[in-house]
Amino acid sequence: MAARSPGAWIRGIVIGVAAVAPSSCSRPQEVSGPAPSAPATPEDAAADPPARPSPNAPPPAPTAVTDPAVPGGPVKFTVIDAIVAGDLLVALESGGVVVARRLDGAEVWRTTVGTAPPGGELLQRLPGAPRVLVRRQGSLVALDLRDGGIAARHAVELADRLFMWQRDGACGLRGKCSMQLLDCATGRPLGAPIEGMTRHMRDPDGGYDSGCWGFEVDLVGRVGDTVVYLTRDVGSEGGPTAVGVSARDGAQVWGSKAVACSYCSSEQYGMSPAGTWCFAGHDDEVTVFACQSGKVQWTRPFRGLRHALWAGDERGGVFVDAPGAAALLEPATGKWRWRVSVPAGSVALPRRARLTDVADIAFAVERPTPLLVLDEGSGRVAAEHTMKPGHTLTTGADGSVILADERDDRDHTGQVLPSRSPVPVTIDRTRVPASSSGPPNHAEVRSVDGRTIASLDLDAWALGWTREAGEVRLAVMLASDPRTVVLYRFAEVPAAPTRAERAPHP
């Protein structure tokens, strides 16, 4: 997933049902501060012991710099990379040191993971446990967020700068030409990286180029000890297009050439909640197959296919739609449970659907668009709303669809920020002068009530924030060389109540 600039946190309304909090079932796990570590695994027991400074070692040189003219003012740290995980700012610093601090700058723990060649160093949250993954040249190191202990260390050679992808219990580090499958809780690599085919091309002028064009790996999910993914342009020509591998060692369990999903959107494939059925849409047809065995149950045509989603609980079905039509398919037989017409130019969704955390991309609209919410049992319209540019779709804890005002906040790695909503600031990233080209080189950090928190002659983005006793503590990354994290503190002005909050309760 490409890194994206953070937007504002969701302030949503539930479509057709009572309001609930957005679900995190398809998102990186949110970590609310230090938490007990995950149950021990065999590889944890064999992992290196936690690296700790000797009690007699001299104290480390301070890395924080405060402005003495501003008591309680910004605190700055020089970092290689940093993320916010719950209440902690976790930073990889020079010398192979990882330091966790509260967002007021107070240090909680530090761990030395060892020096490594520069390049490709990255911190990311592990979706399956309260841990942070340190990606470095030749290794992956998982640290426990509770105390910084080294929970696991893995030797692995990764060529690309890779970012965390996660879906239904399956995780992988994805680059432009490779995907390394991982265990979501420990960061343990599942086999060797999946690599695309390198091709050579000669242009008419005699130039020569090599590249990995067309590489694609899409995680479907994990059921039991089987991780399922869809792929193209991997290995020899004519290889499987759907694969199940062992979650123990990455060995292939099954492979199928009958499931096609080339350049599918994230809302055109998936699995049932318990992983009985997997499905994928491609061009004008839908295929359902057993997740654990790869056996194709059926394939049937559906002209103009736009989306394929699981609707309802495990007894539900595969919802498909096309311009002017929507339908629900029985997963075991492929028969229609219902099929209805919908007005042209509208978006139709079942009342309960399994949407991914990037549904804000798949369902983005450029103009006000009718949104029809269909009862998954009958296909009748249960509610109708209007989607506007900037609106997004997500789901609540019970699977009910939520229409939200703005997109999820994401950090610079593309993961959804785990900080508590609502967002306390906006960061306007611009170019100065405005007529110049290139990436942003100026940023204005403003509180939601319009106060200017900082004016920066560098690009910047929010890493996360916490709130305490009416005060916001905010971590911002500056695109300096080397990178710099700045911690800001400011009083929060209570937001005006929403229309729903002002409405009298029955």
Cα–Cα distances in angstroms (integers) from residue 358 to residues 162, 261, 378, 415, in the given order: 18, 18, 27, 10
Q: Please check the confidence at residue 27 and state whether its pLDDT lies above 70.
A: no
Distance CA(388)–CA(500), nearest Å, equals 19
Q: Please check the confidence at residue 93 and state whether its pLDDT lies above 90.
A: yes
Q: Please check the confidence at residue 55 and state whether its pLDDT lies above 60.
A: no
Count, in order, helices (H) and strands (E) of the chain: 3, 40
pLDDT for the residue numbered 72: 59
If you average pLDDT over residues 17-43, what whole number do you get?
Answer: 32
- Domain 1-23+258-420 falls in which CATH fold? Lipocalin (2.40.128)
pLDDT for the residue numbered 238: 63
Confidence band for 232, pLDDT divided at 50, 70 and 90? confident
Distance CA(205)–CA(193), nearest Å, equals 35
Which ranges in the chain are annotated with CATH 2.40.128.630? 1-23+258-420
Highest mean pLDDT range out of 39-48, 414-423, 427-436? 427-436
Q: Tally Cβ neighbours within 10 Å of residue 49.
A: 7
Q: What is the share, in percent, of the chain residues with pLDDT greater than 90?
A: 57
pLDDT for the residue numbered 261: 87
List, in sequence order, the alpha helices (H) in 459-498: none
Q: In sequence order, what are the residues at sequence separation of 6 or more whose Cβ sits closer than 8 angstroms to the Cβ of residue 220?
A: 167, 168, 170, 228, 229, 230, 242, 269, 270, 271, 278, 280, 291
Token pair recorded at residue 98: 């990882």
Q: pLDDT tens-digit profile of 162-175? A: 889 999 999 999 88
Confidence band for 239, pLDDT divided at 50, 70 and 90? confident
Distance CA(388)–CA(261), nearest Å, equals 29
Count the residues in the chain.
Answer: 506
Q: Please check the confidence at residue 35 and state whether its pLDDT lies above 60.
A: no
Confidence band for 128, pLDDT divided at 50, 70 and 90? very high
Q: What is the share, in percent, of the chain residues with pLDDT greater than 70?
A: 79
| Least confident window among 222-231, 273-282, 372-381, 487-496 | 487-496
Cβ atoms of 12 and 392 closer than 8 Å? no
pLDDT for the residue numbered 197: 76
If you average pLDDT over residues 193-197, what whole number do you get?
Answer: 84
| Least confident window among 60-74, 110-124, 156-170, 451-465 | 60-74
Q: Please check the confidence at residue 298 and state whether its pLDDT lies above 90.
A: yes
Q: pLDDT tens-digit profile of 317-369? A: 999 999 999 999 999 999 999 999 999 899 999 999 999 888 888 888 999 99
Token pair recorded at residue 236: 């020899």
Distance CA(433)–CA(111), nearest Å, equals 42
pLDDT for the residue numbered 19: 32
If you average pLDDT over residues 217-246, what whole number do you get?
Answer: 86
Q: Please check the confidence at residue 26 and state whether its pLDDT lies above 80.
A: no
Distance CA(414)–CA(184), nearest Å, equals 16
pLDDT for the residue numbered 430: 94
Q: Please check the confidence at residue 70 and state whether its pLDDT lies above 60.
A: no
In degrees and rounded to multiples of 5, residue 42 shows phi and psi of: -55, -40
pLDDT for the residue numbered 405: 80
Cα-based torsion angle of the residue sequence 443, 446, 450, 455 in order, rounded to the nearest 10 degrees:
-50
pLDDT for the residue numbered 237: 59
Provide the whole-model pTM. 0.79
pLDDT for the residue numbered 422: 82
Confidence band for 65, pLDDT divided at 50, 70 and 90? very low
Q: In sequence order, what are the residues at sequence separation of 6 or more whose Cβ sits closer than 8 angstroms to the Cβ of residue 157?
A: 138
Q: Please check the confidence at residue 146 and state whether its pLDDT lies above 70.
A: yes
Token pair recorded at residue 22: 């957005």
If you average pLDDT over residues 468-492, what whole number do you get?
Answer: 94
| Strand ranges of the sheet holding 381-387, from the earlier edge strand across to the other edge | 347-350, 369-374, 381-387
Q: In sequence order, what are the residues at sequence separation of 6 or more whose Cβ sits closer than 8 angstroms to the Cβ of residue 426?
A: 8, 445, 446, 448
Confidence band for 498, pLDDT divided at 50, 70 and 90? very low
| Least confident window among 108-112, 136-140, 225-229, 441-445 | 136-140
b/e per residue, 153-187, with b = 16+ CB within 10 A?
bbebebebebbbbbbbbbbbbbbebbbbbbbbbbb
pLDDT for the residue numbered 332: 97
Distance CA(61)–CA(125), nearest Å, equals 27
List, in sequence order, the alpha helices (H) in 346-397: 359-362
Cα–Cα distances in angstroms (integers) from residue 339 to residues 23, 96, 302, 494, in the given order: 28, 58, 11, 47
What mean pLDDT, rounded, does the chain reach?
81
